[in-house]
Amino acid sequence: MTRADRLLALVAELRGASPAPVPAAELARRLAVSQSTVRRDLGMLARAGLPLLVERGRGYSVRTPTAPSVSTEASSLVAPVRDTLTEAVRGRRVVRLDYTGASGARTRRDVEAHGLVTAPYGEYLMGWCRTREGPRLFRVDRVGAAYLTGRTAAPREPHELPALLRVPLPRRPADEPAPAGTRRGGTAAAGRAWTLGRLREVSGRLTDLLAALRSGGEGTAAARAVLGHLAEWTRWQVAAVRAVATGADLEFDGDRPPFPDAFDDDVPFPARERMIQDAMAPRSLAEIARDLHMILHAASRWAGRCDAALWRGALPDPAAAPATRPLADLLAGRGGPLAHIEWHLDRLPGGPHARDARPSAQVTDCPLHR
């Protein structure tokens, strides 16, 4: 870790814990350095303007920042995050972020800042991520710290930034009903847009998870089993929804592995799950993840192109016939394939409910088994 990255991480740790103090020993452990290095770095940050508080016997904390002028690399690190991002956009600068994704994984990103946009439930930095080599949107409230690197953002052609033209719709809490536009009597455009936004969000969470695992994140074995489970069940769920919507036969997307003949019989959930894990066993984690991404991409393409009439009224629920639900709820609402994926991602290491999950029972605790 370079010194700039260490200072970035140090500021992010203090702001993330604010207003609670963090002992020097704990900061040293998190950054994998000595306590003397932590104290030296904090002294330098305090001299640069970081509003640092020292509580004897408890550690270090930061006050609510004032708003120093963002004119140098050092001042950008200790200024409020949004001020640094605003300066990056104004000056077309490359900014280094300490960023926590939707999955809970923390990464450092070098981003060419192209704009700030406000959405109903958050503000986003639009930029070209040099770390991922592609256009990305970053929620400002998930940026732990930001640092102006001194480099200028490269000019980008309009076709290079298609993702920046779409702000993701905010994630709806699981216990809230779908927006009015997705229920009976709502507009077809609202239901379709909400569903496509949820598909993009879930795909993004999968991408963040894989990036964290490639960076040495914990939980690779658990993720492999869970993604194998998700690939096959999502394939079935999406195919079933599409079948009830169009009246056509089941048509499976992605790269489906071969299964024994008994797989199509009425077998108990644990037996079916063993068949899924056995079929996925020869595949690598990347191959399983690619299969799941293919399924979500196919679902997104179908949802974007299907007849607008399907988004009005209600359709039979494949999982709870003869009940009916709007198409948007079948795909993106509670009990649908996207909610199922998020339930598992939330319980993988780094997810918001990881502490509540039993690692050995990640699949057997699945809501589809209840």
pLDDT 10s digits, 123-177: 788 888 888 777 788 888 889 888 888 788 777 665 555 545 444 444 444 444 4
Q: What is the pLDDT of residue 319?
A: 82
The pTM assigned to this predicted structure is 0.53
pLDDT 10s digits, 75-92: 777 788 888 888 888 888
Phi and psi at residue 185, in whole multiples of 5°?
A: 90, -10
Q: What DSSP string runs through 107-144?
A: EEEEEEEEEEEEETTEEEEEEEETTTTEEEEEEGGGEE
337 has pLDDT over 70: yes
Could you tell me the pLDDT band of residue 251, with boundaries at 50, 70 and 90? very high
**Block residue for tokens 């996207």:** 338
**Block residue for tokens 């699945």:** 366
- Plot region of 353 (φ>0 → left; ψ -120 to 50 → alpha; else → beta): alpha
Domain range annotation of the chain: 3-62, 73-165, 180-369
pLDDT 10s digits, 281-311: 999 988 999 999 999 999 999 999 999 999 9
Mean pLDDT of 355-365: 59
Rounded Cα gap, residues 206 and 250, in angstroms = 25
Topology of domain 73-165, CATH: SH3 type barrels. (2.30.30)
Instruction: Note whether 3-62 and 73-165 share their fold.
Output: no
A 10 A CB-CB count for 5 gives 14
184 has pLDDT over 70: no
Rounded Cα gap, residues 60 and 266, in angstroms = 60
Would you tell me which CATH number, out of the four given (3.30.43.10, 3.40.190.10, 3.40.50.10130, 1.10.10.10), belongs to the domain 3-62?
A: 1.10.10.10
331 has pLDDT over 60: yes
